[in-house]
Structure 1
Amino acid sequence: MTNFELNNSNIFQAEGIHLIIWAPNLIVLPIPDNSSTSNFNTFVEFNVYLINNTPNSFRLNPNETLIPELLGSDSQALQGQVVSDEPAHTEQRNIPPQLGFKFKLNQLLSKLARWFFQRKTREFDPRLIDSGQVRLATVTLRLLWQNNLLQLQVINSSSSLQIFFSLLDKSWIFNTLQTGAYQLRFIWGIPFGDSESDSDSETTQGISAEQLATKILNLRLIEPVGANKSATEVDGICFETLMPERLLTLPEKKRGVETRVQLGICITNNTPIPVRLSFFATLIPQLVGANGQPCLRGYFRCVTKRPLASDFPVIMSGENMSLFLYASLSWYKRDQFTLTIDAGDGGYWSFEALKAGVYQIQLTYINKDATEEIYDRESMNTNLVEDIWMGIVPTPKVEFRLVQT
């Protein structure tokens, strides 16, 4: 059986099969600039797991996939248009640790072991889910303008391990959106009541879409605030990416030579009460090139760091806090350079193959846990931190330029 911790308060289940969304209840998307010269769009991503917690194997119906349900403020469902999958995040080569890296690594090793031991008796079938196994989809929410209409794209992207996760190939577009509150969940089924089905007797039977669904997420589309619309404010908490120096000179093409980059976030508490935040691996960078496409991103871990009390500061009412991450530019090869950014948990994010030119960068705050165990260095024990603010909040992108000497 899987060691994935189940929480009956935020999932639905059908006959021991679970659909779990790995995200906080609140997702905020700042509305991008609507201009003919802007390649700006806003996107966030999270994972959805389909878990077999039954004692038996079953085979997925090839016509089934993740289906988003988007409800407006009037609780009426918005009609989405299904399209072919757009791989919006081929830049992410490694799975972020805050989204269950150890769990997914264990699942991968388990799948590899089963595959190699069973390859003599049967051909590997990625649709077949054995007891305790998982299928993973990375879901991207992308907000952009098309023909002066605000559009939300919900993109199902399989993992880079295509041999295992090759079935989730449908994406949806919701048109004519506006600022306001929405609700979003995902169901597992056949899009638009397609009557086609798999005749294989091992295909899942008797599981309706209403039975197999994720928890409901609160989705807010908001206008950026502040000077030059540089911040995202939600429930009185304001997030802004800090980058004092916007013209960066690339370092010499020598190993060990680097250029420090000032990159951070400022969070202002405009609420009447103190707010506790998490800075432990919760700030995810995203880099976009001049063409509006995400740059190749990887996550690498050097050491394992335990969360400390200092990673969970309290911001008093009317005050703000700035946190700068360790970031640097270094030579990669030829005329290409690498930007590395500290992840806060002993690892770092890396954007490679950069050249002189214009880029946009943002930091997304992602915290899905209201409580966290911290390590006390003096007592050498663990304590519990509670009431941590949860949500996914991307800041508006900041533009900067890389130049060569």
Structure 2
Amino acid sequence: MTNEDVKIERVAHMTSFESNNNVLKVDGIQFITLVPKQVVDIPQYGEETSMQFGVRIMNQASIPYHFDLQRFYPEILDPQGQILQMDGGQNATREVEKSDIPLLMPGESLDFLMDAKFNWYNKKCLSVSGNATYGGFWIFWNIMPGRYHIRLKYENQLVKKKMLISPKGWTEIDQFWIGKVITPFENFYLR
């Protein structure tokens, strides 16, 4: 992604940003794509293989911010450099937990890792899927061996949110970081 692409993805209220190959910094918040295990084995038919990926968020701003971690979604480029189409849906609804909306104080950082599963939809179609927004799911189809690129998208437009918090019930939460970011790509290999 070029710096020009990063500028296009910014929300109008943001005042500063910078990007290098590994780190995206927007208004004092740094985002780094994480892929702890970069080589993943294709599962045997009828089995599944797990993978984790995510983002490190570092608050270098002067005020604390909440982040709605369930708002991070993966974007994957296939071995030919094409964006894979993501499907998804909602198969349940769950309450928000405190760990879903951490408050990062100035100087603090947080690693948020998503769990993904590679499994066979049928004998000719390998997919990768994971959990999404409070009971939803995402899925990518027709995965083949090769080198992939993954990054995460995040968007939040509300400073305050009324959320169904377990066990409190409906609660208003303030100080959410407002913005739209796309983290830098990181590689993983499927073999």
Displacement of 1:277 after TM fit? 1.4
SS of residue in 1 equivalent to 2:94: coil
Q: Indicate the residue corresponding to 2:189 in structure 1.
A: 401
> Alpha carbons of 1:270 and 1:360: their partners in 2 closer, same or farther (altered >3 Å)?
same
CA distance in 1, matches of 2:91, 2:174: 28
Pairing 1:341–2:130 present:
yes
Q: Indicate the residue corresponding to 1:261 in structure 2.
A: 51
> Alpha carbons of 1:303 and 1:183: their partners in 2 closer, same or farther (altered >3 Å)?
closer
The CA deviation string for residues 67-115 of structure 1, in whole angstroms up to 9 with x for no partner, is xxxxxxxxxxxxxxxxxxxxxxxxxxxxxxxxxxxxxxxxxxxxxxxxx
- Choose which of 92, 96, 107 in structure 2 pairs with 1:303: 92
Pairing 1:234–2:23 present:
no
> Alpha carbons of 1:183 and 1:241: their partners in 2 closer, same or farther (altered >3 Å)?
closer
Displacement of 1:309 after TM fit? 3.4
Question: Structure 1: where are the runs of 5+ without partners?
Answer: 1-29, 33-141, 144-178, 185-215
- Choose which of 119, 143, 147 in structure 2 pairs with 1:358: 147
CA distance in 1, matches of 2:128, 2:16: 30
CA distance in 1, matches of 2:166, 2:154: 27
Pairing 1:248–2:13 present:
no
CA distance in 2, matches of 1:182, 1:220: 13
CA distance in 2, matches of 1:360, 1:308: 30
CA distance in 1, matches of 2:82, 2:15: 24
Q: Indicate the residue corresponding to 1:66 in structure 2.
A: none
Letter in 1 for 2:189: R
Asked whether the 8 Å contact 1:183–1:217 carries over to 2, the reply is no
The CA deviation string for residues 221-264 of structure 1, in whole angstroms up to 9 with x for no partner, is 95523xxx21211111001111011111010011xx21110111
> Alpha carbons of 1:182 and 1:282: their partners in 2 closer, same or farther (altered >3 Å)?
closer
Q: Indicate the residue corresponding to 1:332 in structure 2.
A: 121
Q: Indicate the residue corresponding to 1:389 in structure 2.
A: 177
Displacement of 1:304 after TM fit? 1.2
The CA deviation string for residues 120-169 of structure 1, in whole angstroms up to 9 with x for no partner, is xxxxxxxxxxxxxxxxxxxxxx93xxxxxxxxxxxxxxxxxxxxxxxxxx
Asked whether the 8 Å contact 1:332–1:353 carries over to 2, the reply is no
CA distance in 1, matches of 2:9, 2:87: 31
> Where in structure 2 are the equivalents of 1:80-229 lying within 5 Å?
143=5, 217=12, 223-225=18-20, 229=21
CA distance in 1, matches of 2:184, 2:167: 40
Pairing 1:374–2:167 present:
no
Displacement of 1:331 after TM fit? 1.4
User: C-alpha root-mean-square deviation of aligned residues, in Å?
Assistant: 2.6
Asked whether the 8 Å contact 1:335–1:355 carries over to 2, the reply is no
TM-score for both structures, normalised by structure 2 = 0.88
SS of residue in 2 equivalent to 1:389: coil
* Alignment length (residue pairs): 191
CA distance in 1, matches of 2:109, 2:58: 4
Q: Highest CA radius of gyration, 1 or 2?
A: 1
Question: Structure 2: where are the runs of 5+ without partners?
Answer: none
Asked whether the 8 Å contact 2:96–2:166 carries over to 1, the reply is no
Letter in 1 for 2:61: T
Asked whether the 8 Å contact 2:14–2:27 carries over to 1, the reply is no
Displacement of 1:220 after TM fit? 8.1
> Alpha carbons of 1:220 and 1:395: their partners in 2 closer, same or farther (altered >3 Å)?
farther
SS of residue in 1 equivalent to 2:99: helix
- Choose which of 306, 313, 329 in structure 1 pairs with 2:102: 313
Mean alpha-carbon deviation: is it higher for 331-340 or for 262-271? 331-340
CA distance in 2, matches of 1:183, 1:344: 21
1 or 2 for the larger relative contact order (CA 8 Å, sep ≥6)? Answer: 2
